A and B are shown apart, each in its own frame.
Chain A
Amino acid sequence: GAGVSQSPSNKVTEKGKDVELRCDPISGHTALYWYRQRLGQGLEFLIYFQGNSAPDKSGLPSDRFSAERTGESVSTLTIQRTQQEDSAVYLCASSLAFGLAGGGEQETQYFGPGTRLLVL
């Protein structure tokens, strides 16, 4: 079946511009996660959605970052007034469920290919 898809795959923008990154989770997955990965570094959690609500926004680096999810499907991560330090790969993942017994099959996170953002 179709996996997690993200668009655009690559984005080059000028400092100060706004960008929108899109994530289409696996159909039927109720939980959706956004991560950031800087070059040569590990995953940095940004935000997750359970349905359309975002109980944990603690990972968003600043108020320039926001995200929304509609219809328990597509999610958009928006970065306003981009800065050079925002350059990274932005990864989206989804899981079938959230907050069950913990760590099992239904909470396995499947990742998309990422959006490579370069801020000049």
Chain B
Amino acid sequence: DAKTTQPTSMDCAEGRAANLPCNHSTISGNEYVYWYRQIHSQGPQYIIHGLKNNETNEMASLIITEDRKSSTLILPHATLRDTAVYYCIVRDNDYKLSFGAGTTVTVRA
């Protein structure tokens, strides 16, 4: 069963905010929402994670709805180097990470 659903692809203009949605309607109380991205030919890069509260770090912000059934990753000022596949996953203590198809984000000049 897919634990998360994400749009297949999205485009974003350079310098604008990129808002990446993720649905996780079956998330359980002890599962975290994690975001990774994978730039072509590179290893996955951790972006951010959260449980209930919104989170912000130097890379992005994570907005989690009150019912925790969906979330949005926000890249505040997208650059060409942010072009990548973005993966939203939910996990508790399952150490075997598994990525779905993710969202292919293309940032255009």
- Where the two chains meet, the residues of A that have a C-beta atom closer than 8 Å to any C-beta of B are 4, 6, 31, 33, 35, 42-43, 45, 48, 59, 89, 91, 93, 95, 98-105, 107-114, 116
Q: Which of A6, A31, A43, A103 contacts B91 (CB 8 A)?
A: A103
* Interface contact B32-A43, CB-CB below 8 Å: no
Q: Which of A6, A42, A103 contacts B92 (CB 8 A)?
A: A103
User: Nearest Cβ distance between residue A43 and chain B, in whole angstroms?
Assistant: 6
Whether, in the assembled complex, B54 has its beta carbon less than 8 Å from a beta carbon of chain A, the answer is no
Whether, in the assembled complex, B30 has its beta carbon less than 8 Å from a beta carbon of chain A, the answer is yes
Task: Give 7 new A-B contacts, CB below 8 A, not counting A91-B43, A107-B93.
Answer: A6-B43, A95-B95, A99-B93, A102-B30, A102-B32, A105-B49, A109-B46
* Interface contact A111-B43, CB-CB below 8 Å: yes
* Interface contact B99-A114, CB-CB below 8 Å: no
Q: Is the interface of B mostly helix, strand, loop or mixed?
A: loop
- The CA-CA distance from A35 to B98 in the complex, in Å, is 10
* Interface contact A42-B98, CB-CB below 8 Å: yes
* Interface contact A42-B51, CB-CB below 8 Å: no
What 0/1 pattern do residues 63 to 76 of B give for CB contact below 8 A with A?
Answer: 00000000000000
Measured between beta carbons, the chain B residues less than 8 angstroms from A42 are 98-100
Whether, in the assembled complex, B96 has its beta carbon less than 8 Å from a beta carbon of chain A, the answer is yes
Q: Which of A43, A100, A104, A116 contacts B99 (CB 8 A)?
A: A43
Chain B 93-109 interface residues, beta-carbon cutoff 8 Å to A: 93-100
- The CA-CA distance from A43 to B93 in the complex, in Å, is 17
30 inter-chain pairs at a CB distance below 8 angstroms, sorted by A residue, are A6-B43, A35-B97, A42-B98, A42-B99, A42-B100, A43-B98, A45-B98, A48-B95, A59-B96, A91-B43, A93-B44, A93-B97, A95-B95, A98-B95, A100-B93, A101-B93, A102-B30, A102-B32, A103-B34, A103-B49, A103-B91, A104-B32, A104-B49, A108-B34, A108-B49, A110-B46, A111-B43, A111-B45, A111-B46, A112-B43
